[in-house]
Amino acid sequence: MLWSGAIHKEMSTLMLCSCQHIVVRRSNQSAAITETMGEHTSSSLLQLPRKLRDRIWSYAYGDLIVHAEPACVDQKMNPSGNYAFRYVLCQQLGSSSDSLKMLECCPGAKRGSANGERTPFFWPIVNKQFWAETIEIFYASATFKVAGSVDLYILASSQQQSVRRMRKLEVRIGLGIRHHNRIWSPARCSSVIKHFENLRGLTLLIGLVVEDDSNYTGTCVNYNYDNGKRIGTVIRGSRMEGWVWEEQRNWFPVFLRSFQQHHLQDNLTRVAVIDRRKQNRGRAFNYHEKDPRSREKDLWREDVVIQEALRQDLAVSMRAVLLGQNISQLFPDWEVENERLLEENERT
């Protein structure tokens, strides 16, 4: 048989039959991997040229997105590390960080359901050669999604070999920074994050909720007097300045810095800060254009633009901390912006 070009992506079924065979089915919406084993120890599939086998393995196990979640949702965190975890293939195409909303992943599929709505992922047990050839391809390109702060801690503490092999993680911190701080103490950050020994890429989806007040992204001006001279100082929470980021019980900066030990790759590291507070989901303005209150609509729109810019600044700053970069170097006009803000504040 003459092989040329790449394996076509629109190919819906790839079947390679031998005494022991693997069946891989892929569609535009989801991927399902199942395996069956024969009674013999030899396989015609494994007799193919190595380059051809690598192409087959890449098609079957490359670029998969897998949900990593506790097998029992009521599983409590304990120091023993005796946690049961399961892996489920993700039905979502593309990256969640491309959206400005905390979208529900795999809509229509309930977490923990066993009625066929979700496709469990398990590693086919064939032989040592199959394992050696496919395991690196899988972990080198797979993205593991973790649904929350608690699940991340349980996964990292599970002592599973898969944790040490993971290269790319996507973590959804959807309940806010204050909730995250209740789970991730500095001791846990230093002792648990190190278990991701081969981690190279991280995507953080951080949802700000009502409990996370505007201090995380707010800007304030403080005035002090030096020999009778009034001196103003601008503090930008969106660039991780101020007391809210320096207070003793805000351990989120420690959590971010704990990933620096893995030397994350720039092109594989992303942060998205998403506002989940109800007051920013939209409002109805039905005032007549001559009604003075119609100005509220324009003010609200301006505020939405400003808040979005602040959240983008916060996301960029957090990403810099993950990568061990200097935040001030990301904003070369920082001092000029502060001086301009002080001048505007003096005029008002």
Interval 279-294: pLDDT, tens: 444 454 555 556 565 5
* Residues contacting residue 88 through CB under 8 Å, at least 6 positions apart: 66, 67, 69, 118, 119, 120, 121
**CB 233 within 8 Å of CB 225:** no
Interval 79-125: pLDDT, tens: 555 567 788 888 765 555 444 555 567 655 555 554 456 788 877 77
The helix/strand/coil state of 106 is coil
132 has a pLDDT exceeding 60? yes
Residue 260 and residue 279: Cα distance in Å, rounded? 35
Choice among 40-44, 133-137, 171-175, 264-268 with the minimum mean pLDDT: 40-44
Residue 344 and residue 338: Cα distance in Å, rounded? 10
Averaged over 219-241, what is the pLDDT? 87
Give pLDDT, residue 16: 36
Averaged over 130-136, what is the pLDDT? 88
> What is the DSSP code (8-state) at residue 272?
E
- Of 300 and 171, the structure prediction assigns the larger pLDDT to 171
**Token representation of residue 64:** 């998969």
- Of 160 and 117, the structure prediction assigns the larger pLDDT to 160
332 has a pLDDT exceeding 60? yes
Of 203, 194, 199, 197, which Cα lies nearest the Cα of 172?
A: 203
10 has a pLDDT exceeding 90? no
**Token representation of residue 233:** 């100082």
Interval 180-222: pLDDT, tens: 888 898 888 888 999 999 999 999 999 887 666 666 888 888 8
Interval 69-78: pLDDT, tens: 887 655 555 5
Phi, psi of 246 (to 5 degrees): -105, -10
Give pLDDT, residue 213: 60
Confidence of residue 164 (pLDDT cuts 50, 70, 90): very high
Angle (CA) 222-225-227 rounded to 5° is 160
Largest Cα separation within the chain, whole Å, is 91
**CB 180 within 8 Å of CB 255:** yes
Averaged over 322-333, what is the pLDDT? 93
Averaged over 233-246, what is the pLDDT? 88
